[in-house]
Chains A and B, each alone.
Chain A
Amino acid sequence: MTTQRLFATTGSCFTDHYEHFGELPHLTRGDLVRRLNEAGLTGRGGAGFPTGRKIDSVRGRRPVVIGNGAEGEPLSAKDVTLLARAPHLVVDGLTIVANALAAQSVYLYVPAQASGDVQIALRERGEAAANRSRITVVEAPDDFLAGEESAVVSRIEGGPALPRDQTALTTRSGVRGRPTLVSNVETFAHVALIGRYGADWFRDVGDTAHPGTMLATVSGTFTPTTVLEIPTGISLRDIVSRSNTATPQRLQAVLVGGYHGSWIPANVIGQSRMSPSGLAEFGAAPGAGVLHLLGEQECGLARTADVAAYLADQSARQCGPCRYGLPRLSTLLDELAFGRVDDHLIDEVHRMVGLVDGRGSCRHPDGAARFVRSALAVFEADIAAHRDGCCAAVPTASVGEVR
């Protein structure tokens, strides 16, 4: 049983796609929703919401469908890889959903890096005439928040890719007040496969509760960034070994879910599985499949401080608590990682995390809070060492020397 489903074809062109996958299936709205619900497909963009239910909640006139390939997360490369290797599955998925919802406005929102591949794929479809698509490509900036749902809607409307205040669900009111479906490009690719092979086929692989395959991005300072297609529910250790990382260093911890995710210590990667239930007990979630490895000789607090600085820099600066709280949090974490550590500093960090969490129009400060809290828990021993002026990662070095 191969788990190379999205990456099943050798080439990315339309001929290869058509040879392997055949015709585009047509499903009514009812059939599509039913099939997706049975399949148990959940969103692959990070939030993991059941796709069938989400599509079913799009009600009203003139719906809009948007394939979100904006990635945003520097540690993730799966969307750009998918768009390079299997763009036609994404286009298929978008078309299937758009047909089912009778949506005339369909968009592919992709960063500049993927724009070339997408344009080629759409041109190939156009030449095939039978599959002439009405998909509009909109370029996404390379910012962290560019892929946030309301930022996507704003950009599609012609405005900046910045999050907006929302009082209604996007599926009810999105682009210019129209019901809008924003889903990750990988989610649409899975829809294209489920549309052809059915729910049972999809469920045949992976975790029972959240089945199928997913794309994971494994990265680390001592390993090249690798994108893999894996069955859901396998252990993190399994994923790390599959990514063929030459590990000159032993693992200390893994950041699961990217910069808005959580750290988990290396000693539990055998027990933790890449599924919501397999990670919940460790305070983590699969998110968009990002796994970032921290070696034993690296300082977790230093890495955390660097990420916090990036998150502060990437704030949209529209909302007070995020605009002022994240930079303050970054300064405090710099002190924690590279300066003097005492009780007062640690209390301040906790206080600042609490001040940013849940206070803003989007979930950026919430994600930052989650990330920092997990670091404070997982690197507790490091904090103690830093208090004494040394670093647990490299006992011979002093705080500030290790990065």
Chain B
Amino acid sequence: MTSEALWAIGRGCGITALGFLTLSLALGIVTRSGRPLPALPRFAVADVHRFTALAGTLLVALHVGLLFADPYAQLRMIDFVVPFLGAYRPLWQGLGTLAVDLLLVVVVSSVLRRHLGLRAFRVVHWTSYALWPIALAHALGNGTDTGQLWFQVFAGGCALAACAALAWRVRSEFTEYACARTAVDA
């Protein structure tokens, strides 16, 4: 595969991954609410949340793998683990590395959550709220297509979705039975 092809597809995977991870974040918040969605019962919401997270992870792996294979990107093995050592735009790429590290931790801890125990799993899972903005910042800072309209619309859409989900998250009647339960806790 030519360097240009690797570069293009590698970036494409990254951008698509951002979309999937945004979906996963939003669905994770819906899962937390205990509410179903119009077409999705609660267990299905949890399933799709998991699916989009894994799909996003796979795309990130491709993103990283293809760019590693592309000599133009100048990636070394260490850049996958230790951030901010890169040759090309070290700060923004470093955020990418950080995001990958966090993603790995979140995914592995989720797969192994029965062994980790509820409390440890939850603490690690909360870092998803940090993971997502870091990934977005990496996309905006590192991305070659940031000047393009289609990218701006896409990234903007992701940002909007995430913000909307977060705004919903912090409302007091966020969970399905919040009202029924506060009536007693009061």
Q: Which residues does A use to contact B, with CB under 8 Å?
A: 323-324, 327-328
- Residue B184 lies at the interface, judged by CB distance under 8 Å to chain A: yes
A-contact bits for B151-186, CB 8 A (1 contact / 0 none): 000000000000000000000000000001100110
Specify which of A323, A324, A327, A328 lies most central, judged by the most chain B CB atoms within 10 Å of its CB.
A324
* Smallest CB-CB A-B distances: 8 pairs: A324-B184, A327-B184, A328-B184, A324-B181, A324-B185, A323-B184, A324-B180, A323-B185
- Please report the C-alpha to C-alpha distance between residue A324 and residue B180 in the assembled complex, in whole angstroms: 9
Number of B residues near A (Cβ < 8 Å) is 4
Distance in Å from the Cβ of B104 to the closest Cβ of chain A?
A: 31
How would you classify the secondary structure of chain B's contact residues: helix, strand, loop or mixed?
A: helix
Contacts of A327 in B (CB 8 A): 184
- Please report the C-alpha to C-alpha distance between residue A323 and residue B182 in the assembled complex, in whole angstroms: 11
List 8 A-B residue pairs with CB atoms under 8 Å apart, sorted by A's residue number.
A323-B184, A323-B185, A324-B180, A324-B181, A324-B184, A324-B185, A327-B184, A328-B184
- Please report the C-alpha to C-alpha distance between residue A323 and residue B185 in the assembled complex, in whole angstroms: 8
- Please report the C-alpha to C-alpha distance between residue A92 and residue B185 in the assembled complex, in whole angstroms: 46
- Please report the C-alpha to C-alpha distance between residue A328 and residue B180 in the assembled complex, in whole angstroms: 11
- Please report the C-alpha to C-alpha distance between residue A324 and residue B184 in the assembled complex, in whole angstroms: 6
Distance in Å from the Cβ of B1 to the closest Cβ of chain A?
A: 54
Contacts of B180 in A (CB 8 A): 324
Distance in Å from the Cβ of B11 to the closest Cβ of chain A?
A: 48
Contacts of A324 in B (CB 8 A): 180-181, 184-185
Distance in Å from the Cβ of B130 to the closest Cβ of chain A?
A: 29
Q: Give the nearest-CB partner of A331 in chain B.
A: B184
- Please report the C-alpha to C-alpha distance between residue A327 and residue B183 in the assembled complex, in whole angstroms: 10
For residues 101 through 124 of chain B, which have their beta carbon under 8 Å from a beta carbon of chain A? none
Contacts of A328 in B (CB 8 A): 184
- Please report the C-alpha to C-alpha distance between residue A324 and residue B181 in the assembled complex, in whole angstroms: 7
- Please report the C-alpha to C-alpha distance between residue A328 and residue B185 in the assembled complex, in whole angstroms: 10
Contacts of A323 in B (CB 8 A): 184-185
Specify which of B180, B181, B184 lies most central, judged by the most chain A CB atoms within 10 Å of its CB.
B184
Distance in Å from the Cβ of B117 to the closest Cβ of chain A?
A: 13
Other A-B contacts than A324-B181, A324-B184, A328-B184, 5 sampled, CB-CB below 8 A, are: A323-B184, A323-B185, A324-B180, A324-B185, A327-B184
